[in-house]
Amino acid sequence: MRSRIPVEIEDDIACVGGVPGLSRRLPPRKTLERVASLHGVLSDPVRLRLLLVLLERRLCVCVLKRIVSCQDTRLSYHLSILKRVGLVDSERDRSYLHYFLTADGKAVANAIMAETATSR
């Protein structure tokens, strides 16, 4: 059952087309789902550290493991999450697997760096 919107509220939002007009101003649901997913991915400090260190250069797993100080399985888990959302990718170079940021990953990492630079 829908609750009735008070007349004074309806009058106030009429200038933007009422409830339908406000709803049309929102980004598409798929876009919001992607943003929500991205925020979930970035909510872990280990994944943030991985993302930011990869902004410096592509790195092999052995270096990433030292930087975040975690076991192989945990590192693999975090890297797979970053890879799944398209922030990180990898390629094999002889016997080493190197991880690097995608274009989206670089954009997100740069935005985070800009934000953290203002709060230091």
Tally of domains within the chain: 2
**103 & 88 share domain:** yes
Helices 103-118 and 45-53 sit at what angle, rounded to 10 degrees? Answer: 110
Q: Among 89, 90, 88, which Cα is nearest to 108's?
A: 88
Q: What pLDDT shows up at residue 47?
A: 96
pLDDT over 80 (residue 120): no
CA 50 to CA 81: how far, in whole Å? 11
As a whole number of Å, the end-to-end CA separation of the chain is 49
Residues 69 and 99 in one domain: yes
* Domain shared by 101 and 72, yes or no: yes
Same-domain pairing of 78 and 117: yes
Q: Which domain holds residue 95?
A: 44-120
86 and 55 in a single domain? The answer is yes
Per-residue pLDDT band at 1 (split at 50, 70, 90): low
Q: Locate all alpha helices (DSSP H) within the chain, ordered by sequence.
A: 7-13, 18-25, 29-41, 45-53, 61-68, 72-84, 103-118
pLDDT at 36: 87
Asked whether the predicted pLDDT for residue 119 surpasses 70, the reply is: no
Residues 61 and 112 in one domain: yes
- pLDDT of res. 35: 84
Kindly state whether residues 56 and 36 are assigned to the same domain.
no
Residues 87 and 33 in one domain: no
The pLDDT of residue 5 = 86
Claim to verify: residue 63 and residue 101 sit in the same structural domain: yes
Query: Domain of 72: which CATH number?
Result: 1.10.10.10
How far from 34 is each of 4, 28, 88, 113, CA to CA, in Å? 32, 10, 16, 21
Tell me the pLDDT tens digit for each residue of 47-87: 999 999 999 999 999 999 999 999 999 999 999 999 999 99
Q: Is residue 31 very low, low, confident or very high in pLDDT (cuts 50, 70, 90)?
A: confident
The neighbour count for residue 67, using CB atoms within 10 Å, is: 15
